[in-house]
Copies of this chain bind each other. A is one copy, B any other.
Amino acid sequence: MATIYEVAALAGVSPATVSRVFNGRTVSPEKQRLVLDAAARLAFTPNKTARRLRKRSSEIIALLIPDIENPFYTALARGVEDRAQEAGFSVVLCNTDDDPAKELRYLGIAASEEMAGVILSPASDEVDLGAIVSLGRPVVAVDRTTPYPVDAVKIDNRAAGIAATTALVDAGFQRIACIAGPLGIESTEDRFLGWRQVVAARGIDVREGYLRHANFRVDGGHAAMKALLALDAPPDAVVTTNNLMAVGALRALAEAGVSLDAFGLAVVGELPDLVLAPATVTQVRLPARHLGTTAAQMLLERIAGDAQPLRTVVLRADVIPAPPVG
């Protein structure tokens, strides 16, 4: 790797001039050419590390998400990466596993690596963003929000919950239960509130035990559905507040031999693969990739120096309704 000094020597100019050529400052066309020729001959690439040390910032953004194996976050990550790449930024992906300790560790890395900014889906309300924020690094919260004053991009989760539930009501189901995520996570709470709003408004019979809080994963959905089916008066339809729990629920239904012709299922989120899902499942398609591109866009604007007041962008979800009960 050639350095700026070697290029300068070959071109017969000072290192400062070489730097100016590569940073778009005022340099005479003639020296400009000399430098570019020399740089080309030496296959010169500026050393990013040295530049970063001086500029105190890099072209890297950190993306902290709970789990890259969840297709929702995969799509989100893809969106972030696409937008970042257009702007010449690289993305470092960090799985927090919803563990505040891991999250904190990664935030520390982002700071000491002098990354340009952070996009994160906070593991809890207690994330300590104080350190990076006070360093002046822009932060964008995505999918979930935080008490810290940072930009945010989220989904209209209550509307998504309402849409999922309404689809089941419209399809003629009478006893609609809800498998919600753990308490304390805003996105899933809003979705569950959407469910509650609809069943209350429509005067739907909600028995004891029709609301179940489970962990966010397949096993949680599975256990919750088993419990629902074991009730004296089991529901005839269920709303789940995320995709993985729906997979678990489907598995439980299959094990119990319950046909989806007579049992309604609506998911806030997309099942891992649309094709293989029974057509009778209602899915609320979350704009995951768009969430990512939007967040990246906002972050890039902040990195570029945009100082407008904090923004929260709310994206709306699409509904893919199931056909009415035959």
How far is it, in angstroms, between the C-alpha of A69 and the C-alpha of B272 when the chains are bound?
11
The stretch of A43-51, A190-198, A297-305 in contact with B is A43-51
Q: Which residue of B lies closest to A47 (CB)?
A: B112
Interface residues on A, range: 35 or more
Check A49 against B46 for contact (C-beta < 8 Å): no
Output the least CB separation between A63 and chain B (Å).
9
Residues of chain A in range 77-106 having any CB-CB distance to chain B below 8 Å: 77-78, 81, 90-95
Q: Is A16 an interface residue (CB 8 A)?
A: no
Q: Is A42 an interface residue (CB 8 A)?
A: no
**Scoring A residues 45 to 88 as 1 if CB is less than 8 Å from chain B, else 0, what string do you get?**
11111101100001010000000110100110110010000000
Check B48 against A113 for contact (C-beta < 8 Å): yes
Residues of chain A in range 225-262 having any CB-CB distance to chain B below 8 Å: 247, 250-251, 254
How far is it, in angstroms, between the C-alpha of A94 and the C-alpha of B85 when the chains are bound?
10
Q: Is A276 an interface residue (CB 8 A)?
A: yes
Residues of chain A in range 26-49 having any CB-CB distance to chain B below 8 Å: 45-49
Q: Is A114 an interface residue (CB 8 A)?
A: yes
Q: Is A310 an interface residue (CB 8 A)?
A: no
Chain B positions within 8 Å of A254 at CB level: 275
Output the least CB separation between A78 and chain B (Å).
6
Chain B positions within 8 Å of A275 at CB level: 218, 247, 250-251, 254
Chain B positions within 8 Å of A247 at CB level: 273, 275-276
Q: Is A1 an interface residue (CB 8 A)?
A: yes
How far is it, in angstroms, between the C-alpha of A16 and the C-alpha of B55 when the chains are bound?
24
Residues of A within 8 A of B (CB): 1, 45-50, 52-53, 58, 60, 68-69, 71, 74-75, 77-78, 81, 90-95, 108-109, 111-114, 135, 218, 247, 250-251, 254, 271-273, 275-278
